Structure formats: structure tokens, C-alpha cells
A and B are shown apart, each in its own frame.
Chain A
Amino acid sequence: MAWTFPFSALVGQDEMKLAILIAAIDPSVGGVLVFGDRGTGKSTAVRALAALLPKMHAVVGCAYQCDPATPCGDCQARRAGGAALKSHRVSVPVVDLPLGATEDRVVGALDLEKALAQGVKAFEPGLLARANRGFLYIDEVNLLEDHLVDLLIDVAASGENVVEREGLSVRHPARFVLVGSGNPEEGELRPQLLDRFGLSVEVRTPTELAMRVEVVRRRDRFERDPEAFVAQWQKDEEKLRRRIVKARERVATIDAGDAALESAAKLCMAVGTDGLRGELTLIRAARALAAFEGDDKVTDAHLRRIATPALRHRLRRDPLDEAGSTVRVERALAEHFGA
């Protein structure tokens, strides 16, 4: 069996890890965009996620692994037809959208096999269906073909995939957390797609020698004996998993409070983000963070910690400002909260 590098064994990159965890706690925060240096464990972190997340309940035999509590259209139809919906526990899907995927495999298309062999018109769900209730990961997201980007922008906003092709007319739920990674040197991301990501993190190579040695050491141990390495980290993984489960239960009860809402609004005004989405994401992410930390209400400390990833990709571009957007957000943070 293939082993996955444990999430808790990742060295450093705290901002990236936090952003991914927040998206896992509250998917409504939106996706996570990871931009930055090569060889910093971007893909490793995303792939580690699948093994970390607690299993979820899903309807047996549903192509979209829908929630038994809120079954999808197909499952409702089945129930109406007299079939009992059984549920089982499955891993949260973390689906890769490989470069070079064709549109028919992303959105789903006519099942060629059935059509050719049996002359039956049947829908074969695509990657978007498989990613429902989970994560859709796109490595090198800035190299994704334009027509796929258009498609994703639409589905990510509506949470529903509508297929109208080859005489098929299908709609199915496609709610997923979009996770993209890439390197800005390869080209910019379309602003519309950028906007679909709730949080955006920048990863850098650690400069500390001890940390770099630890990165190589852990990877070495993992590759030489993955089973033992995973076993060694199992306790930490378990602990983290419990924290996520708990945070998910608590996140709805977290009180954002007027003070925090006002703080967030002022902050967004100060950095000049477009639209309300920035404010909304900031509050949601801060709530998820509070839940993760075991706090009861959102405080300035939470806002401050999550403001940079929540806002840095939403600034109006000001090419005359030499400083990058990260610096601009941090400047506003320091002004707002005091140094």
C-alpha cells in the first residue's frame, strides 16, 4: 500500500498548514491558494490531508458520496422509489485535477463503455463529482487551460455542476474546497479564479539550518521505512484529527461579536479590498481559527493571525506600490492593531 507523509510531520510552513486546516474546519471559508518557492512541500501538505481528515458518512452507491442527512437529487429519487438509503463511512476525497485532463473527464460525460457495448445512454461522473464534499487539488494551477478555469470558476461559485452535452442533461452537487498551488513566475492567475480562493498563502524556503536539516531528515526516515514513520506520528495525527473534529462541532457556536465585525470591516477598508467577500472570509476564517484554538469568541488576536492570508490576494492592484501585497496588509495590520 502507498503511504502518505503525515501532516503533523511537516516541518515549518505554519501559515500554509493553518490555512489548510481552517479550510478543513469550515469549507465555507473557500479554497486555499499556495504560491511560492519550489520544493517547500506544497503538494506534500495537500496529499497528507486525505489521511488526516476524519472519515465522513456518505450514502452507499452514490456517485457524489452525498450526505445521508441531505441526500442529493439522485438519492432522493431512489428513496422515493422505495429503496432504503444505507450509509457508510468513507475518507474525505482529495481529488487531483491533473494537468492535461480533458473537459469530459472533469465535468463528466456520456459513459462510453455503456454506450458502445450496450447502447445505453448513461452519465459517467467526472472529477468534480468525485471531489464533492472534499477537496479538489490543482498543482501548477496557473498552467491550467483556460476553458477548464472558466468551468471551475462557475462550479466553485455555484456548488453545482451542470452538464448539458451529448444529449445528457445532468446536474449534481459539486461542493468542494479548491486547493491550488503554483509559482508566480510561471504566470499570473486570472483575477476571477483568484477570487474563488478564500485564503492565499505564500511559502518560502526555511532559512534556518536546523529546520532545513529536519526537513531532509524526516523525509529520509519516511522514505526508508514509511510504515514505522507513519506509526511514529500516529499519535500526533490522532490528536490533530480530534482537534479538527472538535473545532468543526464548535465553529457554529463561536460568537464573532460586534467588536470583531467592526475590526474586520475597518481592516478591509484600510487595505482597500474589493467587495464584501474579503470581510466575510476574514470573519469566517477567524471563527474557524477560534474554534481550532478552543476559544469561545473571535478576538483581535484571531483576526490578526488570519488577516494576511485572507486578504493579500484581494487588494486592488497598485503597480506603483513597490511593496508586495503581503507588506501592504501587514502595514495596515500594524496601523490598526498597533505594533
Chain B
Amino acid sequence: MNETAARWRDACLAAALFAVAPAALGGVLLRSGAGPVRDRWAAALGAWLPEGAPMRRMPHGIADERLLGGLDLTATLRLGRPVAQRGLLAEADGGVLLLPMAERLPPGTAARLASAMDRGEVQVARDGIVATLPSRIGVVAFDEGVLDDEPLSPVLAERLAFRLDLDGIGWREVQGEPAGLPTRDAIVAARERWTTVRADDAVLEALCAACVALGIGSARAPWYALQAARISAALAGRDSVEHDDAELAARLVLAPRARQLPAPPPHAGQDETPPPPPPSEPKERQEEEEMAVPDQPLDEQVLAAAAAAIPAGLLARLKMEQRAAGAARSMGRSGATRLAWRQGRPAGTRAGNIQRGARLNLIETLRAAAPWQALRRRERGGGEGVAVRPEDFRVTRYRQHSRTTTIFAIDTSGSSALHRLAEAKGAVELLLADCYVRRDQVAVLAFRGQGAELLLAPTRSLVRAKRSLAGLPGGGGTPLAAGLDAAWALAEGIARRGDTPLVVLLTDGRANIGRDGQPGRAAAEADALKAAERWRGSAMAAVVVDTSARPEPRAKALAQRMDALYLPLPHAQAATLNQAVQAVARGNAGR
């Protein structure tokens, strides 16, 4: 069996296990673009779910009233008494909720889902309705992110037992069922009895030990692995968890969560030791599986199974993620948040007319009308329905919020002497603390060597920002033009979303790598000035902080070209620098 076929088979196996007990396993994180392979997987899952179990699709950007439930206005108005409406979470009870574009899921929605999954019920406290409705659901999150994106909100990802990757599996490979899959009857039977399957302490210890070895922190991982092992045993008609079940669980649940490669077991033979780089060749993986000798101790066997299944390139990706610290993800999800900000946050309601695009708040309007119903009915001499009069109208008020995103573009090349860099970092952190207090956002860009790198996408998290600065590497050439280009692109994106970008450029102005990546001082500096030109005449403010030991004319020239505030760091202690940037930010927001 080749690598993609093996992957497809595992994906089908996971679907079968999941179909036995969706709520107990939480769900599946499916990395795959939309397409026939994914549809086929979903169809297989649907066929294995219990008869009549709901399989509902959650639209992107779902509102709370549809997700959690609330007041059914039409019915309320018709009947003249409050009628509750169930939300999607309650409607999907006993079945599966599908999440397309899960990587774009706003953190708030993810947290609501997580809460329902934890409790098996959804708590509604909205629009005059208080209720607790059963919501035992499994979640299938379709992650369509491109490779470098950090997928899905961790709050939700944490609660999904399986992580599958369907990318690269061809249409031809999914024709016909892979061998060795459980039958529908076996699934129905397993659903009845999997909770009675025993697992002895050795299995538990092996799974927990594998988690430790793979650097998996959460207690949910071994828990889900245990459930998966149990279900696997039940599918095979066994009463207790066998080695095979534990191995399968380790492969499907633990391997994709690995944060590190296990240290080689002390007394294992040389050829059994997982190679230090992640097994990237499918061949190796096959060999690894076949090599698991049955009389090996269970914990080693489980670990070997998990280690062998660690996806190729996972560790390389991890390293990148640590550097970017979730940067890409907040990029992806911030769009929706921003949209809400652009409209401002709802700041209560007030009486008013529905004119000039004001949004009528139906609930509040209804509430305003409610007390008078008995009276008005009497005035009208009976009749059904609710009498709403213009004086009842309530419109939602939004508070406009102008938010500044400060982009730090930091020259970390060799020419910006390293000791100055430490000082610059101090200044940046001071600014960060203030941004955080004002609830502004911060992004960090670094440029050195061949180009610029986004270390931290706009965020409000001080923890993340500090982490991105901690590992700031230095040295190499100075691609000033590339740094300016990257800063401009980021700033433009922010402005387009309705926020105010402020670029703080920390450099000594001495460029030596041109736009094309070629070394050469003259060309590089010309390129940099050209890139700086764009700020001139734009509404975007910038600050150039000169990090050289003595004020550097080139940095000053750059600042002039950008129409930016020029601040030499020798004169500016971190605190002064902070004040200056604040002042620019304030002036900027007022523009």
C-alpha cells in the first residue's frame, strides 16, 4: 500500500471509530480543500452514523441566535407569548456538526462550541430565554487553510480526537472501499457495547507515557486515545483493549498532536530507533510498522506506532509556528473581528426612527411594546397579534472605535549593531505594554539577510508579542527596501480593514541588499528611498527610530523621504521614544 492509500485507509478508519460515538470522541479535524475526496469521506461518515442522526452544516459567521438559540420572533409575535427557538447546537444533538472553513472560525464561536461539547448541553441565556438543552455532538472541522496557517482555534482543536490530512489523496485512490474497514453492522454493535470494553492499566500507562515522550501536554489527548482504543476493540468484537487497538489509537490520536520526537528507547535495536529527522519517506513508515515486534513491551510499541505516524515535516512546521507564534492564524481570523469593529460595538439601544440605515433592534422594540399589549388590545377591542407603534421602535447604537495597529519593522541585520538591537527591543516592549493598555494591536516585522519576515501578525496578546521578540535573531545583510515593502503591504491591509496603521521603523538606514536580493550599497539605498516614497502623501504615519550609535544622516534622509518623525535612539531613552510614538499615534488617529 502506498503512502496516500494508507492515509486514506486511516481516514476511513477514523471515520468509522468516530461514527460509533461522535460525542465521546469530540470530533475530527480534517485538513483538506473542498473537493470530491472530502465529500466522499463525509459521505462515508454519514452512512455510518446512526439512522436519523442529524448531520448539520454550520455556516461561516453564524450568529449567536442561530447557534445557541433564542427568541423566535415570528412565533412570538403571532402567538403573543414568548416562544423559544432552538439553535444549531441543540438541533444537532446526537449527531454531527460540520464546520466548513473551520480555520476562519472566530475565537468566540469556537469557545461556544467547546463549551457545548464539554457539557453535552447548550446553555442559552438570551433574549429573555433561559434554557439548557441537550447537545451531544461530534464536530467535523474542515480546515482549508494553506499549509503555513496555523489551523483552527486551539480551544476547539484540543477537543477533536482525530486529525486527518486528505491533501494529496487522488480521486482514483478513494474508489472502492479500503480493505479491513468495519461493516455497518459491526459499527452498530460497537455503539452498543464500547463503553463496557475494559482497558487495563498497562494500556493507560502506555498511552500516557507516549504523550510525555511526544511532548503532548493536554490531559485530553490520552483520554481520547483511550476512548479510541476502546471503540477499536469493540469494533473488532473484543472485550478488552489489545495492543493493536492501543497502537491504532496512538497513530490516529497521538501522532498528529506530537510536539517533539521521542528520545530513542535506551535498549532498542538500531534499526528500530526512529531516525532523528521525522520519517519523511512513506517507505520508512511502512517498515516501521512492520517492524513492531509483538513481544515488545506495550509502551514501546505504542510509542513506536505513534512516532512512525508523525506526519512528515511536522517538526519543521512546529519550529516555524513557534517563531511565528500563531501569527498566520490571527491574520486569518482577524478579518471577521475587524468587520465587527468597523461597525463599532453595540452600545445599547435608544428610541428612534428606522431611518438613514439605523438598525432596528427587534427584541428591544418588542420589549418596549410588550407591556402595553393588554391595554392596546382593549383599545382596539380585541384581536390577535402584537400591536407595535412607532414610539416603540428601538434602534441599535454603535460606538465607533478607531483602533491603531502599530507595526514594528525592525532591522535585525549585522549593520544594526547587536547591542543596539537589545535597546530597541526594550523600547518596543515598553510600547507594547502601552498598546495593550489601550487595547491597540501590535505587529512585528523583522528584516535581515534576504528579506522581511512577519514575526507577529497584528495581535493584542502581550504574551505572544514578547515571545516573538525573545527569539529575534540578528546578523546578515540589510534588505531595507524589502522591509519597507513588507511594512507597507501590512499597513495597507490594516487601513483597508478600517484601522489606523502606524509604522515604527527601527534601522540605522544603511541598506546593502537591493529589492532584487542582490548585494550592493548604492542600488540598495536607492531602492530603499523609492520604497519610502510611498508614505509621502499617504495618510499613513510613520516613525523612523535611528538605532545607530550616532545619529546617521542616511536614516534621517529616509525619514524625510517618508515624511516620518525622526527619532535618534541615543537621544531618546525608551520612555521618551514611547511618548513620541504615542503622540504620533494620537495625532494619526485624529486625522
Pairing of A with B = yes
A contact residues vs B (CB 8 Å cutoff): 37-41, 43, 96-102, 104-106, 109-113, 115-121, 124, 126-127, 139-140, 143, 145-147, 166-167, 183-188, 190-191, 205, 207, 209, 212-213, 215-217, 219-220, 224, 317, 319-320, 322
B contact residues vs A (CB 8 Å cutoff): 64, 67-68, 71, 76, 80-82, 107-108, 111-112, 114-115, 118, 123-130, 154-155, 158, 195, 199, 201, 204-205, 207-209, 211-212, 217-223, 226, 326, 345-348, 363, 366-368, 370-375, 377, 386, 426, 429-430, 432-433, 436-437, 439, 460-464, 466, 470, 574
**Least distance between A115 CB and chain B CB atoms (Å):** 4
* Interchain CB contact under 8 A, A100 and B108: yes
Q: Which of B112, B212, B223, B426 contacts A100 (CB 8 A)?
A: B112
Which A residues are CB-close (under 8 A) to B371? 110, 115, 119-121, 166-167
Q: Which of B128, B208, B209, B326 contacts A104 (CB 8 A)?
A: B128
Alpha-carbon distance between A151 and B115 when the two chains are bound, in angstroms: 22
Alpha-carbon distance between A205 and B208 when the two chains are bound, in angstroms: 12
- Contacts A100-B112, A140-B114, A147-B346 known; list 15 others, CB within 8 Å: A37-B217, A100-B108, A104-B363, A110-B367, A126-B125, A139-B115, A140-B155, A185-B461, A186-B461, A188-B461, A188-B462, A213-B201, A213-B204, A215-B219, A320-B429
Which A residues are CB-close (under 8 A) to B430? 319-320
**Least distance between B20 CB and chain A CB atoms (Å):** 15
A-B residue pairs in contact (CB < 8 Å), sample of 13: A39-B221, A102-B127, A115-B370, A115-B373, A116-B80, A143-B107, A147-B345, A147-B348, A167-B371, A186-B107, A187-B107, A216-B208, A317-B436
Which B residues are CB-close (under 8 A) to A215? 219
Q: Which of A117, A166, A207, A320 contacts B426 (CB 8 A)?
A: A320
**Least distance between A13 CB and chain B CB atoms (Å):** 11
Which A residues are CB-close (under 8 A) to B112? 98-100
Which A residues are CB-close (under 8 A) to B220? 38-39
**Least distance between B45 CB and chain A CB atoms (Å):** 24
Q: Which of B125, B205, B466 contacts A127 (CB 8 A)?
A: B125
* Interchain CB contact under 8 A, B127 and A119: no
Q: Which residue of B lies closest to A144 (CB)?
A: B108
Alpha-carbon distance between A209 and B510 when the two chains are bound, in angstroms: 53
Q: Which of A120, A187, A191 has the most CB of B within 10 A?
A: A187
Q: Which residue of A lies closest to B432 (CB)?
A: A319
* Interchain CB contact under 8 A, B219 and A119: no
* Interchain CB contact under 8 A, A184 and B463: yes
Which B residues are CB-close (under 8 A) to A191? 437
Alpha-carbon distance between A40 and B158 when the two chains are bound, in angstroms: 12
Sorted nearest first, the 4 A-B pairs with minimum C-beta distance are: A119-B374, A39-B218, A115-B370, A319-B429
Q: Which of A105, A118, A126, A143 contacts B108 (CB 8 A)?
A: A143
Alpha-carbon distance between A282 and B68 when the two chains are bound, in angstroms: 40
Alpha-carbon distance between A251 and B433 when the two chains are bound, in angstroms: 39
Which A residues are CB-close (under 8 A) to B439? 190
* Interchain CB contact under 8 A, B375 and A216: no
* Interchain CB contact under 8 A, B130 and A105: yes
Q: Which of A102, A185, A219, A319 contacts B464 (CB 8 A)?
A: A185
Which B residues are CB-close (under 8 A) to A41? 219
Q: Which of A105, A112, A207, A319 contacts B125 (CB 8 A)?
A: A105
Q: Which of B130, B219, B367, B436 contacts A39 (CB 8 A)?
A: B219
* Interchain CB contact under 8 A, A186 and B204: no
Q: Which of A96, A146, A205 contacts B218 (CB 8 A)?
A: A205
* Interchain CB contact under 8 A, B223 and A216: yes
**Least distance between A44 CB and chain B CB atoms (Å):** 9
* Interchain CB contact under 8 A, A220 and B205: no
* Interchain CB contact under 8 A, A185 and B82: no
* Interchain CB contact under 8 A, B208 and A209: yes
Q: Which of A39, A167, A224, A322 contacts B470 (CB 8 A)?
A: A322
Q: Known interface pairs A100-B68, A119-B374, A143-B111. Does A216 touch B128 (Cβ–Cβ under 8 Å)?
A: no
* Interchain CB contact under 8 A, A119 and B372: yes
Alpha-carbon distance between A219 and B204 when the two chains are bound, in angstroms: 12
Q: Which residue of B lies closest to A127 (CB)?
A: B125
Which B residues are CB-close (under 8 A) to A119? 371-375, 377
Alpha-carbon distance between A54 and B546 when the two chains are bound, in angstroms: 64
Which A residues are CB-close (under 8 A) to B368? 166
* Interchain CB contact under 8 A, A105 and B462: no
* Interchain CB contact under 8 A, B82 and A112: yes
* Interchain CB contact under 8 A, A205 and B373: no
* Interchain CB contact under 8 A, A319 and B345: no
Alpha-carbon distance between A215 and B218 when the two chains are bound, in angstroms: 11
Q: Known interface pairs A98-B125, A213-B204. Does A224 touch B195 (Cβ–Cβ under 8 Å)?
A: yes
**Least distance between B438 CB and chain A CB atoms (Å):** 11
Q: Which residue of B lies closest to A96 (CB)?
A: B123
**Least distance between A82 CB and chain B CB atoms (Å):** 28
* Interchain CB contact under 8 A, B218 and A139: no
Which A residues are CB-close (under 8 A) to B111? 99, 139-140, 143
Q: Known interface pairs A185-B464, A319-B462. Does A220 touch B226 (Cβ–Cβ under 8 Å)?
A: yes
Which B residues are CB-close (under 8 A) to A166? 367-368, 371
* Interchain CB contact under 8 A, A116 and B386: yes
Q: Which of B223, B326, B370, B436 contacts A116 (CB 8 A)?
A: B370
Alpha-carbon distance between A190 and B436 when the two chains are bound, in angstroms: 9
Q: Which of A105, A167, A322 contacts B128 (CB 8 A)?
A: A105
Which A residues are CB-close (under 8 A) to B363? 104
* Interchain CB contact under 8 A, A113 and B82: yes
Alpha-carbon distance between A320 and B114 when the two chains are bound, in angstroms: 36
* Interchain CB contact under 8 A, B123 and A212: no
* Interchain CB contact under 8 A, A212 and B125: no
Q: Which residue of A lies closest to B426 (CB)?
A: A320
Q: Which residue of B lies closest to A322 (CB)?
A: B470
**Least distance between B273 CB and chain A CB atoms (Å):** 21
Alpha-carbon distance between A183 and B108 when the two chains are bound, in angstroms: 13
Q: Which residue of A lies closest to B347 (CB)?
A: A147
Which A residues are CB-close (under 8 A) to B226? 216, 220
Which A residues are CB-close (under 8 A) to B222? 212, 216
Which A residues are CB-close (under 8 A) to B326? 185
Q: Which of B223, B371, B375, B463 has the most CB of A within 10 A?
A: B371
* Interchain CB contact under 8 A, A209 and B205: yes
* Interchain CB contact under 8 A, A212 and B219: yes
